[in-house]
């Protein structure tokens, strides 16, 4: 589709009607659009502002108050519409008068069509070029004004021709037209600019220098100034100044330098050694490396980095470098050994990384002497080893009572391994047997910074209770603030058990002596009673009414005799008849008797695995089984499915419990175990079950001597009995 061209509009201002009409016809024939034909300047100015024609053909001499040149000047100033003058006079005075409005051309009357057409086309061409030039200048000016850098144009006298807004802001330029640049520059920069202008040449077309503010000029900027020389169209020299604000960059550089200086001072005062290495050469080190190795700075510049280490560490570092070439990153930290000048080997912890140094990659190493730490670790290990050898439990907690360390004795006593208790509090051992008042009293002492000594009943991991003598001591720092607690504890459960056993044994022996004496005297009296009853029975003869009373008295005396025998067994006053006995046979005989006396609803389970022969009194062994099984029967007789279990097995010394081992010599033993499914006995009564005449049975069901007799028999053989 062809582009439709818009017709150009032309205004004719001519006071000669014939000439005006002829011009109109000619323009129409050229293809232009006629706006209007006017014959005075005033109307021409008004219509030009309103219609905005593309061109005005203006007669120089017009009738009326406003001449053609005056009207053309006003139109040009107000609208910039190009104007072609039509005149019959081409004298110099007329041309000078009309030149003020910069006419696009002149046409002399009488005009020729060719000249008219050429003048009009030239006017339009000139207008188009001016518009393009104006647009180009606008774009250039906008570009220059948008620059962050300042741009100043100077003439040969260094007078400011142009300055963009950035330059005006940098140099505080105001009202600079006709003023030299020196008036806006400090003296130092004036001299530098003059020197640069003088040095400009074809071989050196650009000169650069820096403008730095004095120390007292807080508001001045750091400037980088470039001076360019060029020639104006008239041939006169001129200069362009390009001003780059380097203030932020310089401030950043100063901050970087200041930071580098601070870091340098920090690195040089560090206790650790800092080394920067490239290709096995030491590029930088702080003074601490000299102290660590014993080498002078000059010597460290000469020797390779790897030579600082003993042979094994050298091999490791070489291997790291080779792996790094294959893309395997070097370890962040590792342990190495320095081969010091003194021939001593110094252990160091090395922190390694890669950094940019002097425009290339390098290795950064931080070496920390860990000799003292190694010594402390050794001392700590020795201390912990010593703590693991002591027999008492040791617990170390922080100020919040969180466990940080326990020794081997603690794990042996409590059953907890170290991993289970670390980070927890000793409250995991609470048994519930100690009152809150006890713990409040304990903490009152500790919080006052005093040590606590006491006896605590705690609970093992398996739920068993045990008793400890405890000493807890606060550990304080230099400010007397408690930072840790150390508890040393001794398990005295076995000692208490042995004490109770010894006390029980002594009490039983005392009661046995007393009971034995009473039994002997009572037996003597009983013998006299029985003897008298027998004599009386013979004298009465056949008087059956009296004989029955005597028989009842003799039966009562017999029962009293049996009681005396039990008391004598308890007191061990009767003689033991020791001989080799196979225990399993004794148990079998006892079970026959028991089966005939205990109801069949009670089920007996036997696990007899020992055929050992023991030197003992078989009657006493029989009595032990009878008494224990009878006691079990009374415990299970009202149970839905009563059961009594009897086991006999061989036991080596190593297989015995710790409690049993402490009571027995190293030998082989036989273990008799009798168990029932009764409800058991309360913890409050269990310590009394071996006391003579103590019983939980109803009145008339027992004498309370059965277990006492068993305890006495077992003790006579130096054996333990446990419930």
Same domain, 508 and 639: no
Closest-CA residue to 354 (of 389, 391, 328): 328
What residues contact residue 704 under an 8 Å CB cut-off, 6+ apart? 691, 692, 693, 694, 695
Structure confidence at residue 679 (pLDDT): 81
Integer Cα distance of 241 and 207 in angstroms: 10
Integer Cα distance of 695 and 700 in angstroms: 11
Structure confidence at residue 565 (pLDDT): 64
pLDDT tens figures, 149-175? 888 888 888 888 888 888 888 887 777
Minimum mean pLDDT range among 422-436, 550-564, 565-579, 685-699: 565-579
Structure confidence at residue 102 (pLDDT): 79
Instruction: Please give the helix or strand (H or E) that residue 395 lies within, else none.
Output: strand 393-398
The backbone torsions φ and ψ at residue 392, rounded to the nearest 5 degrees and listed phi first, read: -85, 150
In a domain, 1, yes or no: no
pLDDT tens figures, 368-388? 999 888 888 888 788 777 777
In a domain, 2, yes or no: no
Question: For a pLDDT cut of 70, what percent of the chain falls above it?
Answer: 85
DSSP 427-452: GGGB-S-S-HHHHHHHHHHHHTT--E
Minimum mean pLDDT range among 60-64, 324-328, 475-479, 624-628: 60-64
Instruction: Please give the helix or strand (H or E) that residue 368 lies within, else none.
Output: strand 360-369
Specify the higher pLDDT residue, 114 or 177. 114
pLDDT at 11 exceeding the cut of 60: yes
Same domain, 136 and 217: no
Integer Cα distance of 622 and 592 in angstroms: 11
- Length of the chain equals 723
pLDDT at 562 exceeding the cut of 80: no
pLDDT tens figures, 185-232? 888 888 888 888 888 876 777 788 777 776 555 446 778 888 888 776
Looking at 141, 172, 192, which one is the last position of a domain? Answer: 141
Same domain, 207 and 128: no
The most confident of the ranges 81-90, 190-199, 469-478 is 469-478
Instruction: Please give the helix or strand (H or E) that residue 385 lies within, else none.
Output: helix 371-389
End-to-end CA distance of the chain: 120
Structure confidence at residue 3 (pLDDT): 41
Mean pLDDT of the chain: 81
Looking at 435, 456, 491, which one is the last position of a domain? Answer: 491
In a domain, 261, yes or no: no
| Residues 551 and 540 sit within 8 Å (Cβ to Cβ) | no
Integer Cα distance of 369 and 52 in angstroms: 92
The model's confidence at residue 1, banded by pLDDT at 50, 70 and 90, is very low
Q: Work out the angle between the directed axes of helices 706-716 and 618-636 (0-180°, nearest 10).
A: 140
Same domain, 278 and 199: no
Same domain, 235 and 347: no
Specify the higher pLDDT residue, 228 or 689. 228
Strand-pair category, 105-108 with 83-87: parallel
In a domain, 256, yes or no: no
Integer Cα distance of 198 and 207 in angstroms: 10
Integer Cα distance of 195 and 198 in angstroms: 5
Same domain, 394 and 523: no
Structure confidence at residue 203 (pLDDT): 72
Assign residue 219 the CATH number of its domain.
Answer: 3.30.450.20
| Residues 235 and 243 sit within 8 Å (Cβ to Cβ) | no
For the segment 681-697, the average pLDDT, to the nearest whole number, is 70
In a domain, 381, yes or no: yes
- What single DSSP character describes residue 326? T
Structure confidence at residue 177 (pLDDT): 76
Structure confidence at residue 516 (pLDDT): 61
pLDDT tens figures, 592-607? 878 777 888 888 888 8
Same domain, 564 and 691: no
Structure confidence at residue 295 (pLDDT): 92
For the segment 67-96, the average pLDDT, to the nearest whole number, is 80
CA angle in degrees (0–180, nearest 5) for 22-25-26: 85
Same domain, 100 and 80: yes
Integer Cα distance of 629 and 603 in angstroms: 12
What residues contact residue 335 under an 8 Å CB cut-off, 6+ apart? 347, 348, 349, 350, 370
Please count the other Cβ atoms lying within 10 Å of the Cβ belonging to residue 359.
Answer: 5
The backbone torsions φ and ψ at residue 289, rounded to the nearest 5 degrees and listed phi first, read: -65, -35
pLDDT tens figures, 18-54? 888 888 898 898 889 998 999 898 888 999 899 899 9
Same domain, 341 and 435: no
Confirm whether pTM is higher than 0.75: no
pLDDT at 686 exceeding the cut of 90: no
CA angle in degrees (0–180, nearest 5) for 291-295-299: 140
pLDDT at 521 exceeding the cut of 80: no
pLDDT at 704 exceeding the cut of 70: no
Same domain, 365 and 284: yes
| Residues 353 and 364 sit within 8 Å (Cβ to Cβ) | yes
458-483 burial, b if ≥16 CB within 10 A, otherwise e? bbbeeeeebbbebebbbeeeeeeeee
Integer Cα distance of 498 and 491 in angstroms: 13
pLDDT at 621 exceeding the cut of 90: no
Same domain, 580 and 689: yes
Specify the higher pLDDT residue, 543 or 8. 8
Specify the higher pLDDT residue, 712 or 66. 66
412-447 burial, b if ≥16 CB within 10 A, otherwise e? ebbebeeeebeeeebeebeeeeeeeeeeeebeebbe
Closest-CA residue to 309 (of 329, 295, 325, 298): 295
What residues contact residue 590 under an 8 Å CB cut-off, 6+ apart? 622, 625, 626, 629
For the segment 234-246, the average pLDDT, to the nearest whole number, is 77
Structural domain that includes position 359: 270-369
Looking at 216, 251, 286, which one is the last position of a domain? Answer: 251
In a domain, 526, yes or no: yes
Give me the number of domains the chain comprises. 6
pLDDT at 684 exceeding the cut of 90: no
In a domain, 263, yes or no: no
Assign residue 31 the CATH number of its domain.
Answer: 3.40.50.2300
Specify the higher pLDDT residue, 696 or 487. 487
Same domain, 542 and 604: no
In a domain, 722, yes or no: no
Structure confidence at residue 91 (pLDDT): 62
């Amino acid at each position: 589709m062809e582009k439709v061209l818009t017709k150009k509009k032309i205004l004719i201002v001519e006071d000669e009607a014939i000439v005006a009409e002829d011009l109109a016809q000619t323009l129409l024939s050229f293809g232009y659009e006629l706006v209007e034909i006017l014959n005075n300047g005033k109307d021409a100015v008004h219509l030009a502002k309103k219609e905005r024609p593309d061109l005005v053909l203006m007669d120089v001499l017009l009738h009326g108050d406003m001449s053609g040149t005056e009207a053309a000047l006003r139109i040009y100033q107000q609208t910039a519409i190009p104007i072609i003058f039509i005149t019959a006079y081409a004298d110099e005075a007329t041309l000078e008068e009309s030149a003020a409005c910069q006419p696009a051309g002149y046409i002399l009357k009488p005009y020729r069509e060719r000249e008219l057409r050429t003048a009009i086309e030239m006017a339009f061409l000139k207008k188009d070029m001016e518009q393009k030039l104006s647009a180009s200048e606008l774009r250039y000016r906008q570009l220059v004004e948008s620059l962050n850098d300042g741009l100043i144009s100077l003439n040969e006298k260094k007078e400011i021709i142009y300055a963009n807004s950035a330059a005006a802001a940098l140099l505080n330029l105001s009202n600079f037209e006709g003023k030299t640049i020196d008036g806006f520059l400090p003296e130092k920069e004036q001299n530098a600019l003059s020197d640069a202008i003088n040095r400009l040449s074809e071989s050196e077309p650009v000169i650069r220098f820096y403008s730095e503010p004095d120390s007292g000029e807080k508001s001045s900027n750091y400037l980088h100034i470039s001076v360019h020389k060029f020639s104006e169209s008239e041939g006169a020299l001129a200069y362009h100044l390009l001003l780059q604000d380097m203030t932020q960059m310089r401030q950043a550089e100063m901050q970087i330098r200041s930071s580098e200086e601070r870091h340098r001072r920090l690195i040089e005062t560090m206790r650790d050694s800092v080394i920067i290495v490239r290709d096995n050469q030491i590029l930088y080190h702080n003074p601490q490396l000299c102290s660590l190795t014993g080498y002078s700075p000059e010597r460290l510049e000469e020797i390779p980095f790897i030579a600082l280490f003993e042979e094994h560490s050298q091999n490791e570092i070489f291997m790291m470098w080779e792996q790094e070439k294959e893309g395997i990153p070097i370890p962040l930290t590792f342990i190495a050994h320095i081969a010091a000048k003194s021939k001593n080997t110094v252990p160091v912890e090395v922190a390694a990384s890669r950094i940019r140094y002097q425009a290339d990659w390098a290795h950064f190493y931080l070496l920390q002497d860990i000799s003292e730490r190694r010594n402390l670790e050794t001392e700590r290990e020795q201390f912990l080893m010593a703590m693991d050898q002591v027999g008492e439990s040791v617990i170390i907690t922080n100020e919040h009572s969180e466990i940080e360390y326990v020794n081997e004795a603690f794990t042996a006593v409590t059953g907890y391994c170290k991993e289970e208790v670390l980070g927890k509090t000793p409250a995991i051992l609470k048994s519930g047997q100690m009152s809150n008042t006890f713990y409040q009293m304990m903490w009152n002492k500790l919080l006052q910074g005093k040590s606590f000594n006491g006896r605590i009943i705690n609970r093992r991991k398996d739920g068993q209770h045990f008793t400890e003598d405890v000493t807890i001591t606060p550990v304080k720092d230099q400010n007397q603030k408690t930072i840790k607690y150390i508890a040393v504890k001794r398990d005295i459960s076995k000692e208490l058990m042995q004490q109770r056993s010894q006390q029980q044994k002594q009490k039983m022996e005392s009661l046995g002596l007393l009971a034995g004496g009473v039994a002997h005297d009572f037996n003597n009296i009983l013998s006299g009673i029985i003897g008298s009853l027998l004599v009386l029975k013979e004298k009465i003869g056949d008087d059956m009414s009296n004989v029955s009373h005597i028989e009842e008295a003799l039966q009562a005396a017999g029962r009293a005799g049996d009681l005396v025998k039990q008391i004598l067994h308890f007191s061990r006053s009767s003689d033991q008849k020791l001989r080799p006995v196979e225990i399993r046979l004794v148990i079998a005989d006892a079970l026959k008797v028991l089966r005939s006396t205990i109801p069949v609803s009670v089920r007996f389970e036997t696990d007899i695995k020992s055929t050992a022969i023991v030197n003992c009194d078989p009657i006493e062994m029989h009595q032990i089984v009878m008494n224990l099984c009878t006691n079990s029967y009374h415990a299970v007789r009202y149970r839905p499915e009563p059961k009594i279990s009897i086991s006999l097995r061989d036991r080596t010394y190593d297989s015995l419990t710790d409690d049993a081992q402490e009571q027995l010599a190293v030998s082989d033993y036989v273990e008799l175990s009798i168990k029932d499914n009764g409800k058991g006995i309360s913890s409050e009564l269990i310590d009394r079950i071996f006391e003579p005449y103590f019983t939980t049975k109803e009145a008339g069901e027992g004498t309370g001597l059965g277990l006492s007799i068993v305890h006495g028999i077992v003790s006579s053989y130096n054996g333990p009995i446990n419930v």
